[in-house]
Structure 1
C-alpha cells in the first residue's frame, strides 16, 4: 500500500539546485536508508516531506489522507528549555517506558541540575522516546545513531523492526543501515536513484554498475579512436588529391590536365562523402554517448605526532567524579601509553565526555588524581559542531592570517571535499558534515601527540568515514576515540576503556573480542546454572525413591522431607 507519492520535486537555494526532478513512492512497510555526500540534499528532502520547508515545484501526495509524522531532527541546540516539553509529559506511560528501555531511569525525578549535565546520548534518547511515544504513522529519522550507545542502538533496531508504518532514515552508520533498512535511496548531483536491499547490497550494486559503465566507456573510446583514425586518413588522401589537381606543372604535365581534372572532381566528390560520413558518425556518438564514470570522492587526511614521549602519557589514580550527590565514577585506576589506540565505550551518561573534559582541564577532579605529561599536546574534536561562530567565513573561523597558513588550510579543505565556493561561505550556511571538516582542518594545521575524538564519524559521509579510518590507522601518536560506530572501533582500536557500573576499566582487547568474552561469560553462567539444576533434579529423584520406602513417622523421613523442600526452593530460584 502506497503511503506517499512524490513527483517531480525540485528545490534550489540561491543559484544552486539541490534536488532535481525527484520522484518516488513510499509504501507501508518500507524501511528506506537515504544516503549521499554531505550537502547533497538529504535533510532538505526530509524537511520537504515533513512540511518544514516548501519545494519549488513538484507534488507530494498523501495517498490515504493526512499522515501523522514523527521527525527526529538531525540537530537541536540543546538546552534545559528544549526538554521542558518532554518533562511536562512524564506522566505519559509510553514516554516513561521508552525512556526506561533506553536506559534513562526515573526521568520524572530529574531536576535542572541533572539536565545541565546531560550527555549527547542522553539528549538523543529523550528525543527518541518522545518521537516514539507520539504514536506516529510514519517516521523520519535524521542521523538517529549519533551519540547513541550500543544499548540504545539495539533498542532502536528492535523498535524499527516492530514499527507499523514506513520509516525514512538518513544515516552514515553502515552497521545500523545493514540491520534496519530494506532499500536505499541515493542522492547524487540532485538526482535520486533507488536500490533494493540494505547498505552492503547497495554498495555491491554500485560497484557492479560502475564496472559496467567503465567497460562501456572503454569500448566507446576504442571505437571513437578507430573512427577518428579513419577520418584522418581520408582527410590526408583528400588533401593530397587537391594538391595534385591544382599543380600547374611543366608543358608535358599540362597535357595531363584532363587526367588532373578527373582527379579534382573525384577529390571534391570524396570531400562530400567524408563530410557526410563524419556527420553520421558524430550523430551516432552523441546519441549513444557514455560519459566517463565519475571518480568516487577521495578524501585525504594527514595526521602526524611530533616528537616522542615517555611510555605512560596519562594515568588515573583512585580517580572519582561526582555532581552533587550523583556519582559518575569512583576509585578508578588505569593508564594510557604512547602510541596506543583506545576505544572509549559505555552507556550514555556513564561519564565518557565528562572524563575527557577532566583530561582537558574543563572539569575538576572530585577525588584522586588524573596525571598527564606536562609537555603533552592534545587535539580534541568534540561532538558539538555548534562551537564555530556562525557569521564567520571558514578561513576567519580558523583564525588564520599568514598567507602560507591560509594556502595550506585551503589545500586541506579542498582535500576534505570543500570547494572554493564553500570556503567563502559563512559557517551558518554549511551542513553539519561540512562543519566537522572545518574542525578537522583546525586539528590538521597543528602537530599533536594525542588525538581525542568524541564521536568523530557523526555527520561525516561514508567516503569520509572510510578515509578517516585509513588515515588514523597510520597515525603514530596516541588516539582516544569515543564512538558507537562498531565498524570504526573494530578497525581502529585494539584496546578499550570501559565505563560501566561507576567504574573505568582498561581492557586489553578490541571491541569484537570484548563483546565475545561477555557473551562467553554469560554462556558459562548459563552452563553453571544448568549443571546445578541437573544435580538438584537428580537429588530430588533419589530422595523420592528413599521416601517411598519409609513411613512418615521415621526420623530419616523427616530429614529427607526437609531436604526435599529446600531443593524445591532452590530449583524455583534457578528457573526464575
Structure 2
C-alpha cells in the first residue's frame, strides 16, 4: 500500500522572472502521493512555467525544488506541434506493447503498422492521443498534464479520467476544462499576481470558496477603509488645533494679555501636546497597516469580444454532394451529402481523426484533392480560427504580426488586445515569449478585425482561460451569422450549437439536434448503460459549472441543487 502522505515534490521560495517581469514570487508548496491538483489561473500567470520548472525543463532564479533523483515524471506538454521524427523516436524509447495498448484504448488502431505518411497526416486529437500513450508508456511516478483535453474527443476524455483514477502517484493538471477538472482533481492551486493560493476540492468547490474569500476580503477591506478614514479625520482635526496653538504661541497679544504670565508658554505646550497626539495616531495607524493591511480584492477579469456580421445572405451557403476524401492508407468520409444555411450554429461531431479539420480545409479551399462536390456561396466572407497557434511569427510583436499599417486599424487592434487582457507591455513583446493562451487572443483579434458572415472555429477555447471562454460563449450566442465549430469543450458545444454534422462510419450526415440530445438519442435507442452514464455525468458537470457561478441565495440555486441530487441518484442506480 502506497503512503499517500509521502511528499513527492517540495517547492521552497521559488522565484522566476522573464524580461524583468516577475512571473512567480516566493512560491511554496508540497505535492504528496495521491494528490490530484488542478493548476488554474488566467493566461500568462505562469502555469506552464511552473510545470517546466518542476520538470526541470527550465531553471529557477531563486528558491529550491526538492524531488528524488530517480523520480520519473510523465510530462504532457501543452503544444501538440510534434514532428514525425519525435513520434518515431519516442515510440522506440518506450515499451512498445504498453504504447500500443494505450493507443488502442484511445481509439488509435494498429499504431504498430503506421508508416511515416500516416504520421504526417495526424489530426490534433490523434497527436494528443499518441502523446498520452507515450507518457503512460514510460510508467511515470508523477504526472504533469498541460491542457490534456484540448483536442480530445469523448472517447479520449473518458479514457483519461479512467486512467487517472487507476494511477497511484500524484497528478498536476493545468486545465481550463471545467467538466474535466470536476471529475479528476481534489485540490486547486491558483496562480494570481505572481503568488499562489490553495483550495480543497474540485473546480466547482474552488469557485464557491473563492467567491466567499473575495466577499470576505471585500467586507474586511471596506471596514478597514472606514477605520482609516476615521483616524485620518481625527488627525486632521488635531492638526488644525495644533496649527492654531502654534499661531497663538507667537502672538504678541494685548497689553493685558502680555501681563498674563506664561501666555506664550501655555500655547507652546498645547501645540506640542497636539503634535504628539498626531504623531501617536499616525504611528498607531502605520503599525496597524504594517501588521494587518487588507488589500482591495482583485476583481475577476472582464473580457469583451465584439463580433459583427454584415447583411443577411441567401439562405443556403454551403452544400455537399457525394463528398469523398481519403488518403492512400485510409478513407475519412465518402459519398456524404449535407447543407448549411445562413445563421445556423453547426457543431462538427466525431472521434479524433475522422476528418473534421480536413472538412474545414475543404470548405476554406485549402484542400482541393477530394471527390464529389462542395458548393459555397461566393457572396459570403469566412473568418477562420485554427487550433494551431504556432503559425504566428515568433519574432514579431502582436501588432506587427497582425500586419496593420493604418493608424485607425492599429488603434482599434490595440483596443481589442487590451479588452482581451493583453496590455501594452505584452503587445510590445515578441510573440515567441507569449503563452499559448495569449497567442490565441492575438489570433482572435485578427478574426475580430474582419467583416464576415461565417465563423469557422477549430477548437476555439483551446488555451483560453475561463473568463475568456465564458465571454466568448456569450458573445457567439449573439452573433447573427453562421458558425461552424469543432470543440471538445462539453459546455461550449452544448451551449452554442443547435445542429450537428456527425462523422460516423466514414460518412458525414446532418443531424437536427444539439450534442446532448444526440447523445441522449443513443441511450434511448438501447445502446446500454455506459452511454447513459456518460450523459448523466455530462449533465452533472454542466450543473456543477452553473452552481459554481451563482450565489446560494439565487432562486435558481435551489432548483439546480435538487436536479444535481436527482442525477446523483440516477448515477448510483446505473453503477449498481
Q: TM-score, normalising length from structure 2?
A: 0.86
Of residues 414-423 and 269-278 in structure 1, the stretch that sits farther from structure 2 once superposed is 269-278
Is the CA contact (8 Å cut-off) linking 2:152 and 2:352 kept in structure 1?
A: yes
Give the distance between the partners of 1:418 and 1:519, measured in 2 at CA: 44
State the SS of the aligned residue for 1:522: coil
1:197 aligned partner:
201
The offset of 1:355, in angstroms, is 0.3
2:480 aligned partner:
476
Q: Over alpha carbons, which structure has the higher Rg?
A: 1
Match of 2:128 among 102, 106, 124: 124
1:62 matches 2:37: no
Change in Cα spacing, 1:525 to 1:130, as seen in structure 2 (3 Å) is closer
CA RMSD of aligned residues (A): 2.3
Is the CA contact (8 Å cut-off) linking 1:320 and 1:365 kept in structure 2?
A: no
Is the CA contact (8 Å cut-off) linking 2:74 and 2:138 kept in structure 1?
A: yes
Is the CA contact (8 Å cut-off) linking 1:90 and 1:108 kept in structure 2?
A: no
1:208-242, CA deviations, whole angstroms, 9 ceiling, x for partnerless residues?
Answer: 11111000001011111222222222333333444
State the SS of the aligned residue for 2:362: helix
The offset of 1:11, in angstroms, is 2.0
1:519 matches 2:485: no
Give the distance between the partners of 1:54 and 1:245, measured in 2 at CA: 66
The offset of 1:266, in angstroms, is 2.8
Give the distance between the partners of 1:525 and 1:71, measured in 2 at CA: 34
Is the CA contact (8 Å cut-off) linking 2:78 and 2:148 kept in structure 1?
A: yes
Give the distance between the partners of 2:109 and 2:59, measured in 1 at CA: 39
1:109 aligned partner:
113
Give the distance between the partners of 1:25 and 1:9, measured in 2 at CA: 12
Change in Cα spacing, 1:107 to 1:319, as seen in structure 2 (3 Å) is same
1:413 aligned partner:
417
Consecutive unaligned residues in structure 1, runs of 5 or more? 527-576
Give the distance between the partners of 2:375 and 2:94, measured in 1 at CA: 42
Change in Cα spacing, 1:12 to 1:367, as seen in structure 2 (3 Å) is same
Change in Cα spacing, 1:240 to 1:306, as seen in structure 2 (3 Å) is same
The offset of 1:85, in angstroms, is 2.2
Match of 1:99 among 95, 100, 103: 103
Is the CA contact (8 Å cut-off) linking 2:15 and 2:26 kept in structure 1?
A: yes
Change in Cα spacing, 1:179 to 1:115, as seen in structure 2 (3 Å) is same
Consecutive unaligned residues in structure 2, runs of 5 or more? 1-5, 531-576
The offset of 1:177, in angstroms, is 0.8
1:363 matches 2:372: no
The offset of 1:90, in angstroms, is 9.3
Change in Cα spacing, 1:272 to 1:161, as seen in structure 2 (3 Å) is same
1:520-556, CA deviations, whole angstroms, 9 ceiling, x for partnerless residues?
Answer: 2226899xxxxxxxxxxxxxxxxxxxxxxxxxxxxxx
1:41 aligned partner:
46
Give the distance between the partners of 2:363 and 2:347, measured in 1 at CA: 16
1:140 matches 2:141: no
1:535 aligned partner:
none
State the SS of the aligned residue for 2:313: coil
2:29 aligned partner:
24
Give the distance between the partners of 1:489 and 1:100, measured in 2 at CA: 26
Match of 1:428 among 429, 432, 450: 432
The offset of 1:397, in angstroms, is 0.7
State the SS of the aligned residue for 2:413: helix
Match of 2:212 among 186, 208, 211: 208
The offset of 1:509, in angstroms, is 2.1
Give the distance between the partners of 1:185 and 1:437, measured in 2 at CA: 24
Change in Cα spacing, 1:61 to 1:355, as seen in structure 2 (3 Å) is same
Give the distance between the partners of 2:145 and 2:453, measured in 1 at CA: 37
State the SS of the aligned residue for 1:371: strand
State the SS of the aligned residue for 1:418: coil
For residues 314-329 of structure 1, what are the structure 2 equivalents within 5 Å?
314-324=318-328, 326-329=330-333
Give the distance between the partners of 1:184 and 1:29, measured in 2 at CA: 14
Of residues 171-180 and 75-84 in structure 1, the stretch that sits farther from structure 2 once superposed is 75-84
The offset of 1:258, in angstroms, is 6.2
Give the distance between the partners of 1:25 and 1:264, measured in 2 at CA: 61
1:458 aligned partner:
462
2:173 aligned partner:
169
Give the distance between the partners of 2:430 and 2:130, measured in 1 at CA: 31
The offset of 1:282, in angstroms, is 3.1
1:379 aligned partner:
383
The offset of 1:365, in angstroms, is 5.6
Give the distance between the partners of 2:103 and 2:304, measured in 1 at CA: 40
The offset of 1:279, in angstroms, is 2.6
1:360-398, CA deviations, whole angstroms, 9 ceiling, x for partnerless residues?
Answer: 001126332211110111110001111111222211111
Give the distance between the partners of 1:525 and 1:19, measured in 2 at CA: 46
Is the CA contact (8 Å cut-off) linking 2:336 and 2:508 kept in structure 1?
A: yes
Give the distance between the partners of 2:329 and 2:18, measured in 1 at CA: 50
Of residues 99-108 and 504-513 in structure 1, the stretch that sits farther from structure 2 once superposed is 504-513
1:102-141, CA deviations, whole angstroms, 9 ceiling, x for partnerless residues?
Answer: 1111122222222222101011111111111121111111
Match of 1:239 among 235, 240, 243: 243
1:50 matches 2:55: yes
Give the distance between the partners of 1:331 and 1:173, measured in 2 at CA: 35
Match of 2:292 among 273, 288, 294: 288
